[in-house]
Structure 1
Amino acid sequence: MKSIEPAIKADERPRAGEKILRVARDLFYRQGIRAIGVDEIVRRAGVTKPSLYRSFPSKDELAASYLRQYDLEFWARFDAAVAAHPGDPRAQIAAFLTRIGKRTQKPDYRGCGMTNAAVEYPERGHPARVVSEANKQELRRRLSAMAAAMGAGDADTLGDGLLLLIEGAYISGQLFGAGGPAKSVARNADLLIEASLKK
């Protein structure tokens, strides 16, 4: 049977750096950044170590590049939830957290790459930690702003409460898997919002 997929021309093949990042992303997410060595990455990517180091000066920079890509995708999902419910921050949060809750129920779920990296790299200046902290600080800022837009009397406390629920979902999703408490993160967030708005 003839393949219906078009042949890839040599100039269309993924560059070594893209292949390395794609492979590293999968390995880092599934097994952890520190658990994976560059030998495993280059072997699976089908490239040489010099190719890796031409694209990424160090494994630390490769980890930071993975997290920068993860960050872009994270904010694309967050922004999609916001765009789906213009002017309604409560519905925006519900949409975003519903997606997180569903994601935590998948068998291959390994939590949030940003949270995992922050746990793996406690040293504040590490490139991976810097990207992770920036993501979490921005999420905290946005949640607080959304809480204020809902009219919460103490928007920062509500924003922090929502952030704690999100981080708890990331971890409990790994611990409990399907049927675990992370599936109800959106409902718990709505209860927290309701209680905060009544004050």
Structure 2
Amino acid sequence: MATHARERLIDTAGALFFAEGIRAVGVERLLADSGIGRASFYRHFASKDDLVVAVLERRDTDWRRWLAAEVEARGRDPLALFDALADDAARGDFRGCAFINALAESADADGPVHRLAVAHKRAVTGFVAGLLAEAGQSGPEALARRFVLLMDGATVTVVRERDAAPLREARAIAAGLMA
């Protein structure tokens, strides 16, 4: 039962943080929406910040697994990254990158949220570098950093414009970088 409560808190917080923002959602709201009591909350998490870290750790695992599966299903072409992201962004509930959003809300550049977001971006960059190396691209690490820059910038632009077109434009730029 303890694991169930912890998982329900992470599930509820993940949905609320992504939809409304980390700062906008207080502990009272998390307790009310999850149906978990205050004592149970604090048995699992010393603070809301600890819950934020748990949510982002799960999101990191799930999102990177999703991206790898999407790219695999599309033939492991490095440009498939942008296709997968554009398809995801076309959903009505798209709110951008959970890690960029968390960085924007985190005031502590040395804190666990910042470190986790940086580690996530490094892992994504490593995955992209691997795809580029498999595709025979020279300098895959430097090119991967450019791809992630395009992915992140286009994702933020999608949120601003409410349209997946920036990810398709980023794909075209990335194709030019590979040429």
Alignment TM-score, normalising by the size of structure 2: 0.87
Where in structure 1 are there 5+ consecutive unaligned residues? Answer: 1-10, 195-199
Alignment of 1:1-199 (within 5 A): 15-84=4-73, 89=76, 91=77, 93-178=78-163, 180-194=165-179
User: How far apart in 2 are the matches of 1:38 and 1:102?
Assistant: 33
- Do 1:101 and 1:186's aligned partners in 2 also have CA atoms closer than 8 Å? no
Pick the structure with greater CA Rg: 1
Other-structure match for 1:8: none
User: How far apart in 2 are the matches of 1:185 and 1:106?
Assistant: 18
Where in structure 2 are there 5+ consecutive unaligned residues? Answer: none
Q: 1:179 to 1:20 in 2, by over 3 A?
A: closer
- Do 2:158 and 2:164's aligned partners in 1 also have CA atoms closer than 8 Å? no
Deviates more, 1:41-50 or 1:148-157: 148-157
- Letter paired with 2:140: A
Measured after TM superposition, the shift of residue 165 of structure 1 is 0.9
SS of residue in 2 equivalent to 1:148: helix
SS of residue in 1 equivalent to 2:79: helix
Alignment TM-score, normalising by the size of structure 1: 0.79
SS of residue in 2 equivalent to 1:178: coil
Instruction: Work out the number of aligned pairs and report it.
Output: 179
Q: 1:179 to 1:60 in 2, by over 3 A?
A: closer
Moved over 4 A (4+): none
What is the percentage of aligned positions where both structures have the same residue? Answer: 26
- Do 1:19 and 1:45's aligned partners in 2 also have CA atoms closer than 8 Å? yes
